[in-house]
Amino acid sequence: MTTAPTHLADLTATRLTAGYAAGEFSPVEVTRATLERAEAAQARTNCFTLITADEALAAAKESEERWRAGEPAGPVDGVPTTVKDLILTRGTPTLRGSRTVRAEGPAWDEDAPSVARMRQAGAVFVGKTTTPEFGWKGVTDSPRHGVTGNPYDAGRTAGGSSGGSAAAVAMGAGPLSLGTDGGGSVRIPASFCGIFALKATYGRVPLYPASPFGTLAHVGPMTRDAADTALMMDVITGADWRDWSQLAPGTASFRETLTGPVAGLRVAYSPSLGWDVPVAPEIAAAVRRAVDRLAALGAHVEEVDPGIADPVEAFHTLWFSGAARVVQHLGDADRQLLDPGLREICDQGARYSALDYLAAVDTRMALGQAMGRFHETYDLLITPTEPITAFEAGAEVPAGSGHTRWTGWTPFTYPFNLTQQPAATVPCGVDGDGLPIGVQLVGARHADALVLRAAHALYETGTAEIPAPATPGGS
């Protein structure tokens, strides 16, 4: 065993499985190193709701026997994995960041489709990660579990709503995580924490139970790089009868198409979607460098906006209505336990009429058609993932920004939940405070493999290489 345990937690899933196959190290060694990191990450950022050390080590021992016999269960066998605490995981409560969910209530005996697929393929689950209450906002703090900080500066937000997953991956507490994205919730925290995340085409990854936020909500992989996401996508995209809106399973492997050519791709670079959004100069420069890297690889780049209006009001109608539905069953006493901001949007959502909702659906359909037309000309749209880097932890909006809701500072993510397009974020630099910057790659519906291929090319050219966050104790 040649690799020191203190370094095993920094390896990608792809590297880990290669090491298992070669006998360089074992799933048990890796899981022990990962659990040490998980404890350190929890102490620094509060990114876990639960660390399942005993269960993880037991699963790792079973994985070790399979690798020793040359019979791994699947491509992620023995890989430490975390799961956002909105996604059902057999044997552990899914509390959704809410004091209104009782841990002692249901039996917690069912896996969500993505978790079931990962478990079947041998993943080692090391814990559940934090979320704002019911995943309602783009930062991660909740009445039940408190505030999750950023690995690069614990006083800043990790983003959200999959902030716990992003912090865990960034700090070596498992290279793979399952998050959810209803308005940017894997991309926002991945951008703030310097990791990779993909919101695939809606329906590509089966989802159960159905989200109260309807077809805005996706399950998304959060990883150290695009190659690990391709690995996860090959596992979690199979059919599951519990999701009535799933897409038919694809036939091609995401890993097999990852290294295809970038030369000749038609890339639209839009610095701000054509909207009056101030993008921090350091972010604009870093995103421009990433675009230039794709051009140097032979992509045809044009600076052009997609010609769409900001659909934030339509998004609010759909999102706030969904939030109201989440808490509809609660009595007055339980409502007083909710995050005050969530309570506000639920009250607003309850006032919308069916006609208001259908008008928002009309806006959504028109936006989808406009983007479909745009992608007849361009294979990819590139924007900043966020116009800002991580701000004060525990706040929904940056101090002095003038915004009242999280959607005000994250205008580049939620449009593509409305359109159901694949969208990924790739780290592309750091600002003057050492905080990560992300570039967003958006493809036409069903072009998930193309988005991953372009993202992988940025990793291959070194564009995504940024300093790692400091690890407490050096472990």
Residue 256 CB neighbours (<10 A) = 11
Separation CA 222–CA 239 (nearest Å): 21
Which one of 26, 63, 84, 177 is the catalytic residue?
84
**Other CB atoms within 10 Å distance of the CB of residue 462:** 8
- Cβ partners under 8 Å of residue 359, min gap 6: 314, 317
Report how far Cα 372 is from the mean position of its chain's Cα atoms.
24
Residue 401 falls in the annotated catalytic set: no
Residue type present at position 48 = F
Q: Which of 114, 162, 165, 185 is catalytic?
A: 185
Give yes or no: 165 in active site. no
- Residue 141 DSSP class: E
The pair of structure tokens assigned to 475 is 């472990």
- Clarify whether 161 is annotated catalytic: yes
Burial 204-234 (b: 16+ CB within 10 A, else e): bbbbbeebbbbbbbbbbbbbbbbbbbbbbbb
The position carrying tokens 């159960």 is 208
Candidate list 26, 63, 98, 161, residue with the active-site label: 161
CA 105 to chain centre: 28
Selection from 348, 413, 360 nearest residue 160 by Cα: 413
Q: Which residues face 82 on adjacent strands?
A: 127, 177
User: Under a CB-based contact definition with an 8 Å cutoff, are residues 421 and 177 in contact?
Assistant: no
Active site residues: 84, 161, 185
